[in-house]
Structure 1
Amino acid sequence: MSRKVLPHICIETAPSPTATVIWLHGLGADGHDFEPIVPQLGLPQTTAIRFIFPHAPAMPVSINGGYIMPAWYDIRKNDLGIAHDEAGITASADSIAMLIEQENMRGIPNSRIILAGFSQGAAMALHAGLRQTAPLAGIIALSGYLLLPEKSHQFTAESRTTPLFIGHGVDDPVVPFALGDTTARKIRAAGYRLDWHSYPMEHSVCMEEIRHIGQWITARLSPLKQ
């Protein structure tokens, strides 16, 4: 079976990008969901970044009565910390790897790629990013959680130099704040550099978080020295 790159939206902040941010949406959304965030990040005009917003494949989601919707993997239980869809997660991780490989072929090394995501997309960003054999420029996980936590031994030694930004709303009714906090603690205990932020919001993003993300991206993808 031939491998195909996920359909996606591409936005370039300036000609000839020297860095890439791959941003994964949440359950039931699509790549357009975070498309408007690019101009809100306050990125310097001197930083040429390619933003890629892929569309997850449509699949039945058990927790929603089998309704077919865009999803990175199936969710079967209300407790998001257990019983994860390993086959679906693995398939999506392979699709994300293809997006990274596509950027490598365009001349963007892993050291200039940030993998970001919200909710289910954040969970996938963590899962795929922490298993890279060449460290990324960073991982951004917003309102997410750690998938297959019993397999954290699969985190690669190479990925431990990848910095992380994890943000979560303290009033999140979808992905409980405690689950995000536990995720951050486990990743920090595994030896990763982690910026952990909590915000007075529910299952969403806020302008303060967007500002922090923009500053964080700028610090890691500042223009290459000539």
Structure 2
Amino acid sequence: MEEQVTVQIDRDAVHWARRGEGLPLLVLLHGYGSDEKDLFALVPFLPEGVAVASLPAPLGAPWPMPGRSWYPIQELERRDPATVTAAADAVLRWLDAETADAPSIALLGFSQGASVAIQTMRRDPERISAVVNLSGYASPGDLPNDPGLRERRTPVFWGRGTNDDVIPPELVEHTAQWLPEHAELSGRVYQGLTHSVSEDELADVRRFLERWLEDAQAEG
């Protein structure tokens, strides 16, 4: 049985663009050792007509690492999804409190933040309309709503580099098997890219998000 863990998002630290305009919402989840200011720098590369919220991870990264973390980095080795799930539940509680006017919600995460984005989608498939997974992975283990997600086929974009040696190969392999079974998967492997984001990748992400916005407008 998973250990029950509770963590919270600091609402006062969230960075917003176009808040309160009733627009579809894109939530940014940064990587390990970073903070809410990092991915917020991507706003100029994102589509128009979307509100953006960049969240701070709930935990401090252990000294001497700067920034914050969504869960202890040791989870990459332990393969225990409990703390990843706790971070996802913190995102869902933040959505409950702050996003009542959003007609559609997508998540964009990098590395650790991407694993939390996928886990959030798994915890509440009806809430999350699209996910961008940049250099991240799907956490091993089954969750109760996975069968519903398999039926729903939420669009997921997965971008990663050929020279990314941060995510263990077995987790990359697990994700490569898990995502096509549970989502409408698109994406690209970028030649020579390390554990980072490139301009080509951002262009692909923008096109993916534009399709999400088109679908959100059609449903609205």
Interval of TM-score (by shorter of Structure 1 and Structure 2): 0.7 to 0.9
For 2:86 and 2:211, the matched residues in 1 are separated by 32
2:217 paired residue among 215, 218, 224: 224
Partner of 1:23: 28
1:53 aligns with 2:54: yes
**Within-5 A mapping of 1:38-187:** 38-41=43-46, 43-44=47-48, 47=49, 49-59=50-60, 61=62, 69-76=67-74, 80=76, 82-105=77-100, 107-109=101-103, 112-147=104-139, 149-151=140-142, 154-158=145-149, 160-176=152-168, 179-187=171-179
Number of positions where the alignment pairs a residue of Structure 1 with one of Structure 2: 210
CA RMSD, Structure 1 to Structure 2 (Å): 2.9
Cα–Cα, structure 1 residues 178 and 198, in superposed 2: closer, same or farther, change >3 Å? farther
1:66-99 CA-to-partner distances (Å, cap 9, x unmatched) read 867511000227xx3x414544323312210023
Cα–Cα, structure 1 residues 168 and 152, in superposed 2: closer, same or farther, change >3 Å? farther
1:1-37 CA-to-partner distances (Å, cap 9, x unmatched) read 9x76543100129x82420001100000001111121
The share of aligned pairs that are identical, in percent, is 27
- Structure 1 contact 141–165 (Cα < 8 Å) conserved: yes
1:74 maps to a residue whose letter is P
Partner of 1:196: 187
2:197 maps to a residue whose letter is V
TM-score, normalized by length of structure 1? 0.80
TM superposition shift of 1:184:
2.7
TM-score, normalized by length of structure 2? 0.82
Cα–Cα, structure 1 residues 215 and 133, in superposed 2: closer, same or farther, change >3 Å? closer
Secondary structure of the structure 2 residue equivalent to 1:18: coil
Cα–Cα, structure 1 residues 26 and 60, in superposed 2: closer, same or farther, change >3 Å? closer
